[in-house]
Amino acid sequence: MVIKEIFSNPFWLLPLLTGFIAQMIKFTIYSIREKRLAFSWLFSTGGMPSAHSAAVSCLSVIAGKHYGFSSPIFGITLYFSLIIMYDAAGIRRAAGEHAELLNIIVEEMIGKNKTLGKEKLKEFLGHSPLEVFVGAVLGILISLIYIKMRWV
């Protein structure tokens, strides 16, 4: 009984599905761009669209629809959604830019000496504001489709 309830709960299933859809879109975009199957994008951070933004915006909309857009639950989900989206476009993006600069500095200072045992820092961590926006729109659209199918 509990298992059935857990696996029929749209408040975690739909955002999870939305994040998966965003990752599949990302995989498709980068596979076309790179002219190869870019499987690394299935589990990668960064890129178009933001899966985190898609998932949290989806969660906010379905919480708002279920509990009311003036409810504390909607307010809480919206607040944390905005923090996650800000983090994706701000802090994680800046960390990626710092990693890129550090990789350049290390390469210039010590060359391409592979005996150091250090790999390059991952540079593609965050999102552009457009990637975050597109992810949020995707999440809202998926939640609206779900609401139309489920509550009408």
pLDDT bucket at 2, cuts 50 / 70 / 90: confident
Question: Quick one: the chain helix, strand, coil %, rounded to 5?
Answer: 75, 0, 25
pLDDT at position 117 is 53
pLDDT bucket at 112, cuts 50 / 70 / 90: low
Query: Is the peptide bond between 10 and the residue preceding it cis, with omega within 30 degrees of 0?
Result: no
Question: What is the C-alpha separation between 137 and 130, in angstroms, rounded?
Answer: 10
DSSP string, 60-71: HHHHHHHH-TTS
Q: What is the percent of the chain where pLDDT is above 70? A: 88
Q: What six digits make up the tokens of 22?
A: 């965003």
Span 25-44, average pLDDT: 90
Among 95, 119, 96, 93, residue whose Cα is nearest residue 106: 119
- Asked whether the beta carbons of 66 and 143 are under 8 A apart, the reply is no
**What pTM did the predictor assign?**
0.80
What are the Cα distances from residue 83, in Å, to 24, 120, 151?
24, 29, 29
pLDDT in tens, 127-152: 888 999 999 999 999 999 999 998 64
Question: Which residues are CB-neighbours of 67 under 8 A, at least 6 positions away?
Answer: 73, 74
Would the pLDDT of 63 be above 90? yes
pLDDT at position 109 is 74
Task: Kindly report the average pLDDT of the chain as a whole number.
Answer: 86
pLDDT in tens, 67-106: 999 999 999 999 999 999 998 887 766 776 777 777 777 7
